[in-house]
Structure 1
Amino acid sequence: MQENLIGTDTEIGKQKLWRLFLLSKKYRIVRHAFLSIIFLLLYVINPQDRGYTKEVNFYASIVDFIYIMIVFYFNIYVLVPKLLLRGKVYQYVFAILIIGVITFTIICSAEILLSDYRISKDITLGENWISGLVYFLTTFIILISFTTALKVFQYLIINLEKLNQIQKLNFQNELSILKNQVSPHFLFNTLNNINILTETNPKLASKLILNLSDLLRYQIYNGVEDSILLSSDVTFIKNFLFIESLRKDDFTYDISLTGSQKDAFLPPLLFIPFVENSVKHINNENPFVKVHFHLENNNLMFSCINSSYSDTNQKEKNEGIGLSNIKKRLQLLFPQKHSLVIENKDNVFRIELNLTL
Structure 2
Amino acid sequence: MDHCKDFSNGQLINFLTEKRFRPLRHAFFLTGFFFLLYGGDVFQEFPAPAAYYVLTIIYCTFIGMFYLNMYVLVPVFLFRTRYLLYILFLLLLVYTGIQILGYFHANYFDAHRLHELNRRKYSESYYAIIIICASLISVSTTVKLLQRWIMDKERITELKNLTYSMELNELKNQVSPHFLFNMLNNVKALIRTNPEMASIVIMKLSEFLRYQLYENNGEKTLLASEIDFLLNFLNLEKIRKDNLQIIFENPINQTLQNTTFIPLGLFTVFVENAIKYSVNTNEEATYIKIDLKVENNMLHFNCINSKSIDIPVFNNKKGGLGLANIKRRLELLYNNEHKLNITSSANEYTVNLIIPL
TM-score exceeds 0.5: yes
Q: Give the counterpart letter for 2:10 in structure 1.
A: Y
Aligned pairs (5 A) from 1:109-258: 122-123=127-128, 139-181=141-183, 183=184, 185-186=186-187, 189=190, 195=196, 214-258=207-251
Relative contact order higher in (CA < 8 Å, ≥ 6 apart)? 2
C-alpha change, 1:179 and 1:140, in structure 2 (3 Å) is same
TM (norm. structure 2) is: 0.55
Per-residue CA deviation, residues 209-240 of structure 1 (Å, 9 max, x unaligned), is 98555434323323433221011010011011
Q: Distance in 2 between matches of 1:124 and 1:291?
A: 79
Contact 2:305 2:350 in 1 (8 A): yes
Q: Is the 8 A contact 2:190 2:198 kept in 1?
A: no
Residue 324 in structure 1 maps to residue 242 in structure 2: no
- Is the alpha carbon distance of 1:269 and 1:346 closer, same or farther for their aligned partners in structure 2, counting shifts above 3 Å? same
CA distance in 1, matches of 2:232, 2:188: 14
Residue 273 of structure 1 corresponds to 269
> What per-residue deviation string (whole Å, max 9, x for no partner) do you get for residues 9-49 of structure 1?
xxxxxxxxxxxxxxxxxxxxxxxxxxxxxxxxxxxxxxxxx
CA distance in 2: counterparts of 1:237 and 1:91, whole angstroms: 49
* 2:11 counterpart (93, 104, 107): 93
Find the counterpart in structure 1 of residue 117 from structure 2: none
- Comparing 276-285 with 235-244, greater Cα deviation is found at 276-285
User: Contact 1:194–1:209 at 8 Å: present in 2 too?
Assistant: no
Larger Rg: 2
Residue 224 of structure 1 aligns to a residue whose secondary structure is: coil
After TM superposition, the score normalised by the length of structure 1 is: 0.55
- Amino acid in the other structure paired with 2:169: Q
- Report if aligned partners of 1:281, 1:318 keep a CA contact under 8 Å in 2: no
Counterparts of 2:135 and 2:159, CA distance in 1:
35
Q: Which deviates the most, 339-348 or 143-152?
A: 143-152
Which secondary structure does the structure 2 equivalent of 1:225 belong to? coil
Gaps of 5+ in 2: 17-122
Q: Residues 291 and 302 of structure 1 are in contact (CA less than 8 Å); yes or no, is this contact kept in structure 2?
A: yes
Q: How much does 1:293 deviate?
A: 1.7
SS in 2 for 1:323: helix
1:305 paired with 2:286, answer no
Conserved? CA contact 2:190–2:197, under 8 Å = no
Aligned to 2:335: 335
Paired residue total: 238
Q: How has the CA–CA distance of structure 1 residues 231 and 212 changed in structure 2, closer, same or farther, with 3 Å as cutoff?
A: same
- Rounded to whole Å, the distance in 2 between the matches of 1:146 and 1:159 is 20
Gaps (5+ residues) in structure 1? 1-78, 99-118, 199-204
Supply the distance in 2 between the matched residues of 1:169 and 1:286 (Cα, whole angstroms): 34
Structure 1 residues 309 and 211: alpha-carbon distance in aligned structure 2, compared to 1, 3 A threshold: same
> Does structure 2 conserve the Cα–Cα contact (< 8 Å) formed by 1:279 and 1:289?
yes
Mapped partners of 1:231, 1:91: distance in 2: 44
Q: Which residue of structure 2 lines up, in the alignment, with residue 27 of structure 1?
A: none
Change in CA separation of 1:197 and 1:139 when aligned onto 2, cut-off 3 Å = closer
Q: Name the SS for the 1:314 alignment partner.
A: coil
Instruction: Tell me: CA distance 1:337–1:280, structure 2 relative to 1, closer, same or farther (3 Å).
Output: same
Structure-2 change in CA distance of 1:125 and 1:155 (3 Å):
farther
- How far 1:326 moved relative to its partner? 1.0
Identity across the alignment (%): 29
Match of 1:34 in 2: none
Distance change (3 Å), C-alpha of 1:346 and 1:329: same
Assess if the C-alpha contact under 8 Å between 2:303 and 2:351 holds in 1.
yes
Cα distance change, pair 222–189 in 1 and its aligned pair in 2 (3 A)? farther
Encode CA deviations 1:275-311: one digit per residue, 9 max, x unaligned. Answer: 0111011142341111122234542111111012346
Counterpart of 2:342 in structure 1: which amino acid?
I
Contact persistence 2:342–2:350 (CA under 8 A): yes
Amino acid paired to 1:295: V
Cα-Cα RMSD = 3.9
Per the TM alignment, residue 124 of structure 1 is displaced from its structure 2 partner at its CA by 8.6
